[in-house]
Structure 1
Amino acid sequence: MRNRIDEEITFRKLEILLAFMESGSLSRAAERLGISVVSVHRALHSLETGTRCSLFRLEGRNLQPNDAAHALADVAREVLEAMAQGIRVTREIAGYAADRIRIGSLYSLTSVTVPALIMGLRLRRPDVQTELVLGSNCELLRKLREGALDATVMGMPEDAADVESQPLFEDEIFFAAPADSRYAGMDEVDLSAFADERFVSLNEGYVTHDRFVDAFRVAGFDPNVVMRTNDIFSLMNLVGGGIGCTLLPGRIRGVLPRNVCLVPLQKKYRMPHRICVVFLRTRERDPNLLSLLAACRSHADSLKG
């Protein structure tokens, strides 16, 4: 059976003990805490009652802590820090805001979408600090479930009953080739005619990779992928450098290198997908998330206009 702690020992009294130990006098501790000297003295004496041992000695008119008091203060500091952390985590789980929000994002959404959402969030909650974490769809969803992220901007996950999503916009993929290639002038691309072409691709886990695989499944062949990367900006540069062609989402059009062009695919290959802000259902009452979702709706409305 766990040892019971005497009711005379409370968090508040431990705070008073630390204030006294750190300030060195009853009066300074009282001033720091905004209470009377008598209240400080009474709390310290109560801790002696609760621990059933002497914690202080009188030297003239001054109260001096002994070794036992120093030992209790060391433990009190750890206990109070642990409890403060526990309360913070408890409030977050219960849906009450922290002073920061951790947002995940796909690399391809960092040029326009994520900055717009962060600015919208700052307008609504200027005191909240934002931390941005980049990764693949798979990585972001895992980190969200592990509690390492509060929300993430990504392709809508499939078969994820534990999350909620706020749609932002719908995107589709395009054929990406060097701007000086013979493909640049095409009105649309039939992938089934590109079995002999070299391709570059993102690694598994990215929504763009999934659409790449889906499109070539419709085309009826496995593409000759000569190089893979984890970064969509590197992928664009590989295309521009003539390493191979690829499929890219339309959302990167604004940051596309001049030596890369996007050509529409035939309708059967276009693979539309929805970009959303995703968060755990257990966090749906968090004020930070509610403000982020309001920023999402505002951004989505601006795209429609």
Structure 2
Amino acid sequence: MIELKNVSKTFETANGKVEAVKNVELTVDAGEIFGIVGFSGAGKSTLVRMLNGLETPTSGEVIINDVRIDTLKGKDLREQRKKIGIIFQHFNLLWSRTVLENIEFPLELIGMPKAERETKAKHLAELVGLGERINAYPSQLSGGQKQRVGIARALANDPDILISDEATSALDPQTTDEVLDLLDEINQKLDLTIVIITHEMHVIRRLADRVAVMENGRVIEQGPVSEVFTHPQEELTKRFVSSEVELPQTTDVKQIAQKLLQKNPTGKLVELRFSGQQVERPVINELSKNFPELEISILEGSIHQLADKGTLGSLFVQLNGTEQKVQAALEFLNELQVEAKVIEHG
């Protein structure tokens, strides 16, 4: 388990003090996939460097498996770092070495005998899907294959924790999904704790169990992915969520409503939001059966699956009928635990 207790990091620069991380409180459970998302300059990278002891917090405690990392030095710190594997954005491969030799490199540094490290490196190459490419050089690999080498190398010392530091940022969408699938598989096979540092909400949605959102060095919001995606509290979180799942937020609702009302000027425009089991329930069918007097038109919508088994969706419908029947339909939707909001004209 990882614990960050009131962690802050301040750098002294020529222009004065820079507070890179401010009073961060986080807990990552063993075996879970935890995402940390934020734009450039949010403090994510500094936070990562404190996890593996490359930076020491100005204040606070960094605890991994009951060991305070921020107090370790020398040999003790080096031993602790072996338990933390890191996957980098730009692969950091040795271009003069083959796939197998790149995977072997960490094992070579700790003095593992050649035959033993070669056997282990071949096993890891198979694990990441590169068993037939062990004699290839980085220049002969695609971006996704290079990152697979990076993942295998990060696993060489049998770490307890794997940190993915913007590992998919340089990859195309299809390759990104393939790498995310691989990390999910590794998490399940090895029961490995994975911490994902990213600015891409797609990565969080596809892979993470829980997420923390960072802005200006602070964690402004955190929780289960399904909860954060369904009910984002902070404006930055709403922007991240909206950019990924296209659930309308604040002014976006007004823009969508204006467009839909222009095309469909009669009746009531209602925005429905679903989460969990409600997504799979035939809500519109039930609504139609219970209120045959209403004319129900589906205008626009989307449904998204989340990595923590959650589901969420948004749907705009138009209800044509008497005010009494429309109100009764809205109450019926609320009983089904579907969020229903009437979008007014203007």
Higher relative contact order (CA 8 A, sep 6+): 1
The interval holding the TM-score normalised by the smaller chain is under 0.3
TM-score by length of structure 1 reads 0.25
TM-score by length of structure 2 reads 0.23
Structure that is richer in helix per residue: 1
Structure that is richer in strand per residue: 2
